[in-house]
Amino acid sequence: MPTKQLKGHDGLAALNARVVECDLCPRLRDYCREVAEKKRRAYMDWEYWGKPVPSFGDAKARVLLLGLAPGAHGSNRTGRPFTGDGSGDFLYPVLYEAGFASQPNATSRDDGMRLRDIWITSVGRCAPPGNKPLPEELIHCSAFLDEEIGLLSRLRVVVCLGKIAFDGFVAHLIRTGQIGKRGMLQFGHGLEYAVPGNRRLLASYHPSLQNTNTGRLTKTMFLKVFARAHELAEGKDAG
């Protein structure tokens, strides 16, 4: 008898459990464990997560936030996306102001953070050396992304942070037969596209310190993206 396919919250929880146990990329697993053992001086009293990082958010979300990969001393330490590093320090206050998060600060898996109408994941699930996953490593993770998007039954908006995440979502559309080729889908901050499934794709610069400290990405720019995502999720298309 075939196994019953889990849906919604149960399906996403089961997928997260498989993500955490994944060992398809020896280079990444070795790196995550090494970072967890050596630690950073500021976090010597932490027990690092040191494994693939599960996704986080509202299983009934209409908005998907897609990032690059966990940070070595951020998510690889805390075990939750965009938690415990500079990118998260920039992201979560904006999510809070846009109405997607219950609080502005994200410090650990046990800080009480709750997300509303948004699900956070990434194209890579392990912290990569130099923040650069190899193409074959992203391919290994791609099946997780395909399944995850399929489980988000209410999905209306996808927000991609950075070009690698954007390219990862476009690859998903091609891989799953939703589009035949990339066509006009090119990355650029603030760009918006209609994609199959009556959904919208929004592109944003990644909230890395390299972008936020230099002013390439400002809070105003970032908040505008999530205000638009909220608007689209509610079915309000202002053009």
In the predicted structure, residue 179 carries a pLDDT above the cut 90: yes
> Rounded to an integer, what distance in angstroms lies between the CA atom of residue 153 and that of residue 43?
38
Instruction: Give how many domains the chain has, as a whole number.
Output: 1
Is 152 among the domain residues? Answer: yes
Is 130 among the domain residues? Answer: yes
Look up the CATH number of the domain holding residue 95. 3.40.470.10
Is 239 among the domain residues? Answer: no
Is 110 among the domain residues? Answer: yes
**7 falls in which pLDDT band (50, 70, 90)?**
confident
**How remote is the C-alpha of 169 from its chain's centroid?**
11
In 43-152, where do the E strands start and end?
Answer: 56-57, 63-67, 118-122
Is 117 among the domain residues? Answer: yes
Q: Which tokens belong to 106?
A: 């994200």
The alpha-carbon radius of gyration of the chain (Å, integer) is: 17
Is 2 among the domain residues? Answer: no
In the predicted structure, residue 4 carries a pLDDT above the cut 60: no
Q: Which residues pair with 137 in a beta bridge?
A: none
Is 148 among the domain residues? Answer: yes
Q: Are 131 and 122 in contact (CB under 8 A)?
A: no
Is 238 among the domain residues? Answer: no
Q: Is the pTM of this model over 0.85?
A: yes
What domain range is 162 assigned to? 8-233
**159 falls in which pLDDT band (50, 70, 90)?**
very high
Average pLDDT over residues 48-65: 98
In the predicted structure, residue 8 carries a pLDDT above the cut 90: no
In the chain, where do the E strands start and end?
Answer: 56-57, 63-67, 118-122, 157-161, 192-195, 199-204
